[in-house]
Chains A and B, each alone.
Chain A
Amino acid sequence: MKDTPLSNCERDFLLKAIEEKKRLDGRQTYDYRKMKITFGTDYGCCFVDLGKTRVMAQVSCELVAPKESRPNEGIMFFNIELSPMASPAFEQGRQSELSVKLNRQLERCLRNSKCIDTESLCVVSGEKVWQIRVDVHMLNHDGNLMDAASIAAITALCHFRRPDVGIQGDEVTVYSPEERDPIPLSIYHMPISVSFSFFQQGTYLLVDPCEREERVMDGLLMIAMNKHREICSIQSSGGIMLLKEQVMRCSKIASVKVSEITELLNKALENDKKARKEGGRCGFAESLPQERITALKMDETSVEMTDVREKANDIVQKADAPPQKVTSPMVPVPGVGQIGQGLQNTWGLEDDEDDEYDDEEAEECDSGEEQEKTITKMEEEQHQKEASRAGDVINISDSEEEEVVILLPETQDKTLKKTWTSSHQKGAAASKKRQKK
């Protein structure tokens, strides 16, 4: 599927508006869109809505062997899925440039900044560590996927609880959530990325570009920072030349934004913790907006089943009798099973009908010893045939029949296969003329 191309008049309109400090949705230059963070039913599932951009993150964990170079550290694995749902331009399975870029940026933002204490994920040094896997799915692409993804990832990591583990000597017990409360990950700081888009060779800048603005931008600057004003990662792409003052200004803006976002994040986590403690149901189903006209909810309903049994009996009685049950397989020789008798081969040429019939008989799974005899007979004949045929017919087949070895009964099916394939070779028309003595 192709994405709708951007028309020239749209592009001109957007650029002109930006020059006049106007944005399509009426925001100011440094304004973020409305952000909403909700959580799913199980721990580690988080939805982030940044305006219309929608992203879902899920954290899961697994016990694996650690890396050789770091035997007492856990493993973090990040995966951003550009789902075809988010935009018609995204294709399933194809590692597009954008996907690689986002994945790499997220890894640098979260892994290289060491925001998670990986040593606490070690269970048995050198043998078992926790592998924490973060899957981020893009659900709707309306610009600024990177920011939404980074917020979703770090929120999901803060929300996640891993199972408790008990070690007694050599034994490691993993407790299920019902036995012991799962424990949260130890997170040092929360890096959040802020994106700046540049227009007209760095003259104008916009924070949190929407999809249209992203299409006409010249370059993008991504700054990942935490609330302690520490820069975790900076990435400038698009080939725009930025001055030092511009980068400093952007980092100041970023620190303000990051502190706002971190506050919102913490509030959302608090609310969720409170809701879970009260025991209420929480999750995607619960957060369905009720007052919208496009949403509807129906309570638990019961289904009447009074005449179901009669109806079913009716249908069963009227139906035809089931077909004859197939007898269970016969085992003539260990390693060979036979169900029924085969049919006559209807493929071959007409003058070879008799020969094919013989071939068929030989190739069927008959009782073991006869089979052995016929196979060996056929192989001997074939040997002779091929020896005499050498001058007559050019055998262009690449069959393995050249060196036939009489094998033991266990591998009978293998020899069987060989003789079978030989009858279907194109170049071996002569082999069809095998005569059975």
Chain B
Amino acid sequence: MMDVCGSASVTLRDFGCEQSLLSRPDGSASFSQGDTSVLAASYGPAEVKVSKEIYDRATLEVLIQPKVGLPSVRERSQEQCVRETCEASLLLSLHPRSSLTLILQLIHDDGSVLSCILNAACMALMDAGLPMSCLFCGVTCAIDADGQIITDPTAAQEKESRAVMTFAIDGTKHRVMMSSTKGSFSVNELQQCIAVSQKASEKIFQFYRDSVSRRYSKTL
């Protein structure tokens, strides 16, 4: 299907973020997109078990805890996506033989969970002050049954759609760092979704800048 973009603009739900809300972790943040909320906490650089240490880099561990029940394969695959994105953006070689742990707790799932997880993770890493080569954000796109692209779909919209894709976009050059897709779509649709995600990521990066400048407005 070639014709995908019907409307001139798509919307992102209202998002909110709070940083440093937990006292024990080195960095913590909660990110909400509409009703979807995720709480992220990061510890590190800290001591690492000898079995897990890497001689020239920090060992990054990502843990995703669902709200009900024990973590299953679904959480493991999401952890993999997040870990790959974080390893690409964190400067791990500055902390050899250390561990960086990122723990994410799902508070409420109303669609676009993986992108909310990525955003919360980035804000928690920023809050911890870990050195990164670029910031990243997550954007979810869905292609519904009519072929329209929707960004930041709710759970109901995700269920009705033909394909759901999540991209992690980097902050400096707006390139795709990670993609996770579900469903069938054509090559053209994929490229259109990537282009839409890149546009949407600009809003999210602006939000990052706004919250950080607000946070340090009293000190700087």
Contacts and interface: CB of A to CB of B under 8 A. Distances in A.
A103 interface: no
A47 to B, nearest CB: 9
Contact of A52 (B23, B63, B194, B218): B23
Interface stretch (B24-32, B88-96, B161-169): B24-32
Contact of B65 (A54, A81, A140, A298): A81
Nearest to A289: B18
Interface in A307-343: 308-309, 311-313, 315-316, 319, 322
A395 B8 CA distance: 74
A300 B13 CA distance: 5
B18 A295 contact: yes
A41 B18 contact: no
B121 interface: no
A318 B91 CA distance: 33
Interface size, B (range): 35 or more
A396 interface: no
A1 B32 contact: no
B140 interface: no
B107 A288 contact: no
A294 B5 CA distance: 37
B21 A294 contact: yes
A408 interface: no
Interface string A50-85: 001010101010000000000000000000010111
B196 A308 contact: yes
Contact of B17 (A87, A296, A309, A313): A296
Contact of B11 (A295, A301, A315): A301
Contacts of A166: none
A285 B19 contact: no
B37 A294 contact: no
Contact of B24 (A142, A288, A292): A142
A285 B16 contact: yes
B115 interface: no
Nearest to A84: B103
A302 B41 contact: no
B103 A83 contact: yes
A284 B103 contact: no
Nearest to B33: A285
Contacts of B159: none
A86 B187 CA distance: 44
Contact of B196 (A40, A137, A303): A303
Contacts of B35: 41, 281, 283, 285
A141 B28 CA distance: 14
Among B5, B21, B149, B151, residue most surrounded by chain A Cβ atoms (within 10 Å): B21
A278 interface: no
A85 B18 contact: no
Nearest to B211: A296
Contacts of B210: 296, 298
Contact of A135 (B11, B20, B67, B110): B67
Nearest to A292: B18
B10 to A, nearest CB: 5
Given A293-B215, A294-B20, A296-B211, A305 B107 contact: no
Interface residues of A, number: 56
B103 A85 contact: yes
Contacts of A316: 187-188, 191
Contacts of A309: 4-5, 192
A83 B105 contact: yes
B211 to A, nearest CB: 4
Contacts of A358: none
A407 B105 CA distance: 53
B5 A308 contact: yes
A416 to B, nearest CB: 30
A306 B195 CA distance: 11
B9 A294 contact: no
B14 A297 contact: yes
A83 B28 CA distance: 14
A93 to B, nearest CB: 9
A296 B16 contact: yes
B18 A294 contact: yes
Given A140-B24, A142-B23, A316-B188, A294 B43 contact: no
A42 interface: yes
A141 B14 CA distance: 30
Contacts of B13: 300
B9 A135 contact: no
B166 to A, nearest CB: 16
19 contacts: A58-B68, A84-B103, A85-B25, A85-B65, A88-B24, A133-B68, A283-B37, A284-B30, A297-B14, A299-B14, A303-B11, A303-B196, A305-B7, A306-B8, A308-B196, A309-B5, A309-B192, A313-B191, A322-B187
Interface of A: 1-2, 40-42, 45, 52, 54, 56, 58, 60, 81, 83-88, 92, 133, 135, 137, 139-142, 281, 283-285, 288-289, 292-306, 308-309, 311-313, 315-316, 319, 322
Give 3 nearest A-B pairs by CB, closest first.
Answer: A297-B16, A285-B32, A312-B191
